[in-house]
Chains A and B, each alone.
Chain A
Amino acid sequence: QSVLTQPPSASGTPGQRVTISCSGSSSNIGRDSVNWYQQVPGKAPRLLIYTTNRRPSGVPDRFSGSKSGTSASLDIYGLQSEDEADYYCVAWDAGLNGYVFGSGTALIVV
């Protein structure tokens, strides 16, 4: 069972906005920043968002991150078929003294 909880799946149509949530606790999201990865089958995860709301070079500004209290969200605007992938949130957990991943959300673009 993951320390960070995400919905198992999400879906949207091309052009829509989709939001993926990540729920944690005071020992992780509540006290530290959140990061988001995208992973397509057979590939290594790709960092989309770090330090809650910053994008690495090359990541489109359609991807946006935020957090409030012990929860975080990843927003994807202008959904595209290539966004179909698994998404994971990650945060440092002070109680475990390590990084913890979310349970993952499979995004389907219908």
Chain B
Amino acid sequence: EVQLVQSGGGLVQPGGSLRLSCAASEFIVSNYWMHWVRQVPGKGPVWVSRINKDGRRIDHADSVKGRFSTSRDNAKNMLYLQMNSLKVEDTAIYYCVRDFVGAEDHWGQGTLVTVSS
């Protein structure tokens, strides 16, 4: 069964850092563009970033540009989101997504990031 298993969420103070991980199983992550999407509970989803198959093309939403970094390790079949200078408004459930808006779209279980003092 195709799975994206996420880890790394939790509580962090404003200005702090956190790294989210997304482990893929039963498929080869290097065959897909991978994305991060976040959602404040009770609100709509918001696209955060994407990375192409070889990791050379990366795009981030303006709201996180310069603070968040997206990377992948194809050898480990992993996707990462490094989040620095975190703000209260970054509090959300973060999802890693395979082939976002594509025929093989598949979402991880989500991980909650809470930024609070």
Contacts and interface: CB of A to CB of B under 8 A. Distances in A.
Interface of A: 2, 35, 37, 39, 44-45, 47, 50, 54, 56-57, 86, 88, 90, 96-104
Given A2-B44, A99-B47, A100-B47, A56 B105 contact: yes
Given A35-B101, A101-B47, 9 more contacts: A2-B44, A37-B45, A44-B108, A47-B101, A50-B105, A57-B103, A86-B44, A98-B47, A99-B47
Chain A, interface SS category = strand
Interface in B16-67: 35, 37, 44-47, 50, 59-62
Contacts of B101: 35, 47, 50, 90, 99
Interface in B55-105: 59-62, 95, 100-105
Contact of B44 (A47, A54, A98, A101): A101
Contact of A101 (B45, B59, B105): B45
